[in-house]
Structure 1
Amino acid sequence: MHFFDQKMVYSPFFAKRMFLNVAQMNQTMINNWKQTVTDDDVVYHLGDLALIPSKKAAYQQLFMILQQLPGRIVLIKGNHDSRALFRYLAKHNYQFINGDFKFTFHDVGCLLKFAHQQFFLTHYPMMLGKGGNRINLHGHIHHASCNTVNNINVGVDSPEKEYLAAPPLFGAPFSQKQVLEMVDKKRQDFQKMQF
């Protein structure tokens, strides 16, 4: 998401974001998340929450934004997420009425299984080799996609959202249904390219 990242505000080449300022970009992502996610949802955030200085005041600003976002958030560390930030969020973590914590943390990634497939959730794209039921959901590369059938860029700037009949609003997470649609459409594209 890159909250507070001044370089992302207007970035026609790197991320194709067109905002007037950081506040507008941040608020758009917050609003669109809120339109999509409920408190009962779990969102897997695949790294690079924000580009902020390693200072308590900056962590507090980001925490105030994250408190506005409904749902539980599983945070996978990206190259712009410091350990100090994760420690701050862990220290200020809180529980919902049902006992679930707002934040869960992973340094490298995690594995989800649904729809008879294994989904490796990481910040950086990873090479899985051949295997029909293994998919890497990743972020990091913003405006690009990996030229492999089993890698799906699920960042907010992903070009692979073009596979979707109804792409999510900017900053809104992808649903499981949308992920499966992207996987299916990318497989169809790759089948067309085989001789």
Structure 2
Amino acid sequence: MFFSVNDMNNTIVENWNSVVNDNDTVYHLGDIALINSKKEDLKRVLEILKKLKGQIVFLKGNHDSRALFKFIDKNNVILPDGRMKFTFIDVGLILKLNHYQLFLTHYPLLVGPSKNRVNVHGHIHHSSVNSPWNINVGVDSADIDYLINKLPFGTPISEKNLFKIIEAKLIDHKKRW
């Protein structure tokens, strides 16, 4: 798919910036980079992150070190609208959108059957939790396949596309169960 890690990183930056505006907020659900905590590696990750448009709210993933989060926070920048470019959350958060409670986490969380509670998560690669109430939004998630118009690799999932995925997965799950 990519010739090198740099090729992948450049593709992600390009695809991200094609849909994210400076005033947008993107929730990154963990596993920013799989690196050690050497200063040169931390700097390299920070330089890539600074190229991404918008404010980024990071939820800690199992591959995210405290050293990385501390380094990013120490070198944080203020956006033109006065917000910090990077903010950090350890476990998860709840967003209320379109009459839904969205539980944003890194690991899948079983929220149980409900008409308005959905866990939006990362962590699982190339597969999906067999529940319409769990949506995997990782860059290599199978749930992204519910979108009719495929997203280029590394493109953040918009609120509009998230609800398309939720709807399509609910319909698919009803057919099979």
Aligning the two structures, in what range does the TM-score lie when normalised by the shorter sequence? over 0.9
What whole-Å deviation, never above 9, does each CA across 1:105-134 have from its counterpart, x for those lacking one? Answer: 000111111010000111100111121100
Partner Cα separation in structure 2 for residue 119 and residue 95 of structure 1 = 27
Task: Point out 4+ residue stretches in structure 1 off by more than 3 angstroms.
Answer: none
Alpha-carbon distance between aligned partners in 1 of 2:81 and 2:16, rounded to the nearest angstrom: 22
| Counterpart in the other structure of 1:162 | 145
Q: Is structure 2 residue 108 aligned with structure 1 residue 119?
A: no
Q: CA deviation at 1:155?
A: 0.6
Q: How far, CA to CA, are the matches of 2:125 and 2:26 in structure 1? A: 18
Match of 1:106 in 2: 89
**What is the 5 A alignment of 1:1-195?**
18-194=1-177
Where does the alignment leave 5 or more consecutive residues of structure 1 unmatched? 1-17
The Cα of 1:187 is off from its aligned counterpart by: 0.5
1:140 partner letter: H
Structure 2, unaligned runs of 5 or more: none
Which SS does the other structure have where 1:132 is aligned? Answer: coil
* Rounded Cα–Cα distance in structure 2 between residues aligned with 1:86 and 1:157: 23
| Matching residue's letter, 1:128 | V
Cα displacement (A) at 1:193? 2.1
> What CA distance in whole angstroms lies between the structure 1 residues aligned with 2:79 and 2:58?
17
One-letter amino acid of the counterpart of residue 80, structure 1? H
CA distance in 1, matches of 2:62, 2:34: 10
Q: Aligned AA for 1:79? A: N
Normalised TM-score (structure 2) = 0.97
How many pairs were matched up?
A: 177
CA distance in 1 between counterparts of 2:176 and 2:154 reads 31
Alignment partners' CA distance in 1, 2:175 and 2:50: 44
1:68 & 1:151 partners in 2: Cα distance?
30
Q: State the superposition RMSD in angstroms.
A: 0.8
Per the TM alignment, residue 166 of structure 1 is displaced from its structure 2 partner at its CA by 1.3
Q: Take 2:88 and 2:150, find their aligned partners in 1: how far apart are those partners?
A: 27
Separation (CA, whole Å) in 2 of partners of 1:159 and 1:190: 14
